[in-house]
Chain A
Amino acid sequence: MTTLSPERPAAQRTPALGASRQSHVVADSITMLSRNLLHMVRYPGLSMFTILGPVVILLLTVFVFGGTLGAGLPGVDPAGGREAYLAYVMPGILLITIAGSAGGTATTVSMDMTEGITARFRTMAISRASVLAGHVLGNTIQAMIAVALVLGVGLLIGFRPTATPIEWIAAVGMIALIAFAVTWIAVGMGMQSKSVETASNLPLILMLLPLLGSGFVPTDSLPAGLAWFAQYQPFTPFIEAIRGLLLGTPLGWNPVLAIGWAVVIAVAGYSWSMLIYERKSVR
């Protein structure tokens, strides 16, 4: 069985790289993206898991805590508290969905590292940007699908956004940008982790941030120190921007702050990942 064909053209033995290497970055990124999407299609269970968490939190907060929490929101009639709280909490839940989905990326990146396939990609002259972009773009798409499904559950239980079509487009764009940025951080976390277990736990920090912002309660109801943190952490403008776009609450500077934070986070995550790629891909 192991008779390899003896006739092999000499030219084929040394594929020409050199000048054409740059143009391969895009093609390789697409190949890597399709690999990640194939994983998603092949193992939908992994993706379903990232949707299940936010849905449980949504149902829990709305139907268990919602009546009381809603009554405490400023300017809300205590009788309609639960509905008001559903509207209030939905943007935060969407952010938790994005963070949870990014956690999946950290796990898959870490698996690639420990299984040695990243090392194989490195010996094949595939640019690190392509390898990582495949993960980031794949997860951004996955996060968008997850957000759509969680939003669907919200609509089923009575979430009624007031957005115009243009506001919807802006909201979708904002969610995509946030997912893209947060995923770059998750890629870095996945690479930094020594084991797959660590990699799957580290992004829990990201899932906590909507809770420590304006996701579940107004920030001015928090104690002074926490209120200060909530005011200035990136997830608060993220949440406020989406809330403003979907429900017509005052936007203020929040969209600008959100875009600014997203760019900063994406650049930081990208630089971190690129920096440790070569060092961490050999085990």
Chain B
Amino acid sequence: MTTPAIETHGLRKSYGDKTVLDGIDLSVGAGTVTALLGPNGAGKTTTVHILSTLVRPDGGTALVNGCDVVRDPGGVRAVIGLTGQFSAVDGLLTGEENLLLMARLRHLGAKRSKARVTELLEQFDLVEAARKPLATYSGGMRRRLDLAMTLVATPSVIFLDEPTTGLDPRSRHTMWDIVRSLVAEGTTVLLTTQQLEEADELADRIAVLDGGRIVADGTPDELKRLVPGGHLRLRFADAATLDGASRLLDESARDDAGLALTVPSDGGVGTLRAVLDRLDAAKLEVDDLSIHTPDLDDVFFALTGKKDQNGKKDQPDRVDMKGTEP
């Protein structure tokens, strides 16, 4: 790998006696996507604010594109774009005027500004709403406009702070598509998220942040291997079938009261099919099946030995296959 687009060493920040960042070491390769995963208050936004020159660190160093965020903020600002948690748009202007404002502030010149704005409106599906006031925009449209404003000057490093929080599933997928196409063009992306699924979808590497420290760092697959939460839960009609299945699948844990078996799984189709095939071969009928994939809760439980402070209950990603004939 060439020189990293983003590099931090021992980054620290505290507000009063509350330590927000407690020594962050991060390295993001040019043209890759890294997700900062963590609960509220983990330090994700503060990290992004330091890297985008909004907040000065108390200690440590941070380089973006080789420029130090404290000593050369101008050099950093020339290459970055930030789309924050709260939409940074001018609510009193139209979408088009917002984009033109950005183009003028980036000194693109009248002709190029016009062309770039037209291009972005098309790419972000905002042509129809271009001349309407922002008050008429949906949450998803505002977020798309926000990102389009960030991209006016085609920055090479983009920070996305919880880009899909509060969006409906469709807008979320649209946002993911946009991020993927940015990466396809060679843009470096650092995004923060609370959702493991989002990090998994988009990121080449995931850094798990908790209490101002990085508690794990790796590819999505590496991370998932650290998390034992994934399993299949199989329920049977009677105790005899349960007995049979329990003998067949020796790695499983049985729950006699619930007439159920818990089988460790990576959540993939392959393992699911293998388990069902074995039961099928032994003529054992499954009454009900659900797939539990590891979520942020599991990640935190595994990595920090404590539950996510929201006290979120174990809510499985349930794929109901009731009455499925194997």
Interface residues in chain A, defined as those with a beta carbon under 8 Å from any beta carbon in chain B: 1-6, 8, 12-18, 21, 24, 27-28, 31, 35, 38-39, 42-43, 111, 115-117, 119-126, 281-283
A-B pairs, top 9 by smallest CB distance, nearest first, are A125-B77, A116-B88, A120-B88, A2-B177, A116-B86, A17-B78, A4-B181, A1-B125, A31-B104
Kindly state whether residue B259 has any CB partner on chain A within 8 Å: no
* Sample (29) of A-B pairs whose CB atoms are under 8 Å apart: A1-B123, A2-B124, A2-B174, A4-B123, A4-B178, A4-B181, A4-B185, A6-B184, A8-B154, A8-B185, A13-B79, A14-B78, A16-B78, A17-B77, A21-B74, A31-B101, A35-B101, A38-B97, A115-B91, A117-B90, A119-B82, A121-B105, A122-B53, A123-B53, A123-B82, A125-B73, A125-B77, A282-B54, A282-B55
Indicate with 1 or 0, residue by residue over B134-160, a CB within 8 angstroms of chain A CB atoms.
Answer: 000000000000000110011110000
Closest partner residue, chain A, to B56 (CB atom):
A278
**Known contacts A13-B79, A126-B105, A283-B86; A38 and B54 CB within 8 A of each other:** no
Number of interface residues of B (CB under 8 A): 50
Q: How far is the CA of A5 from the CA of B116 in the complex (A)?
A: 11
Kindly state whether residue B93 has any CB partner on chain A within 8 Å: yes
- Asked if A123 and B93 make an inter-chain contact with CB atoms under 8 angstroms apart, the answer reads no
Q: Quick one: which of B152-198 are within 8 Å of A by CB?
A: 153-156, 174, 177-178, 181-182, 184-185
Kindly state whether residue B49 has any CB partner on chain A within 8 Å: yes
Chain A proximity of B185: nearest CB distance (Å): 6
- Asked if A14 and B88 make an inter-chain contact with CB atoms under 8 angstroms apart, the answer reads no
- Asked if B105 and A31 make an inter-chain contact with CB atoms under 8 angstroms apart, the answer reads yes
Kindly state whether residue B26 has any CB partner on chain A within 8 Å: no
Chain A proximity of B304: nearest CB distance (Å): 28
- Asked if A116 and B79 make an inter-chain contact with CB atoms under 8 angstroms apart, the answer reads no
- Asked if B101 and A115 make an inter-chain contact with CB atoms under 8 angstroms apart, the answer reads no
- Asked if A27 and B86 make an inter-chain contact with CB atoms under 8 angstroms apart, the answer reads no
**Known contacts A35-B90, A39-B92, A123-B54; A3 and B78 CB within 8 A of each other:** no
Kindly state whether residue B52 has any CB partner on chain A within 8 Å: yes
Closest partner residue, chain A, to B89 (CB atom):
A117
Kindly state whether residue B117 has any CB partner on chain A within 8 Å: no
**Known contacts A12-B154, A125-B77, A282-B54; A120 and B82 CB within 8 A of each other:** yes
**Known contacts A14-B78, A123-B80; A115 and B86 CB within 8 A of each other:** yes
Indicate with 1 or 0, residue by residue over B211-231, a CB within 8 angstroms of chain A CB atoms.
Answer: 000000000000000000000
Closest partner residue, chain A, to B112 (CB atom):
A12
Kindly state whether residue B84 has any CB partner on chain A within 8 Å: yes
Q: How far is the CA of A149 from the CA of B41 in the complex (A)?
A: 51
Kindly state whether residue B273 has any CB partner on chain A within 8 Å: no
Chain B proximity of A131: nearest CB distance (Å): 10
Kindly state whether residue B87 has any CB partner on chain A within 8 Å: yes
Chain B residues in 8 Å Cβ range of A21: 74
- Asked if B88 and A2 make an inter-chain contact with CB atoms under 8 angstroms apart, the answer reads no
Additional A-B contacts beyond A39-B93, A115-B87 (19; CB < 8 A) = A1-B122, A1-B125, A4-B181, A6-B184, A15-B78, A28-B105, A31-B105, A43-B92, A111-B91, A115-B86, A115-B89, A117-B90, A119-B54, A119-B84, A122-B53, A124-B77, A124-B102, A125-B74, A282-B54
Chain A residues in 8 Å Cβ range of B174: 1-2
Indicate with 1 or 0, residue by residue over B44-72, a CB within 8 angstroms of chain A CB atoms.
Answer: 00000100111100000000010000000
Chain A residues in 8 Å Cβ range of B119: 5
Q: How far is the CA of A15 from the CA of B78 in the complex (A)?
A: 6
Chain B residues in 8 Å Cβ range of A14: 65, 78-79, 156
Q: How far is the CA of A182 from the CA of B150 in the complex (A)?
A: 34
Kindly state whether residue B107 has any CB partner on chain A within 8 Å: yes
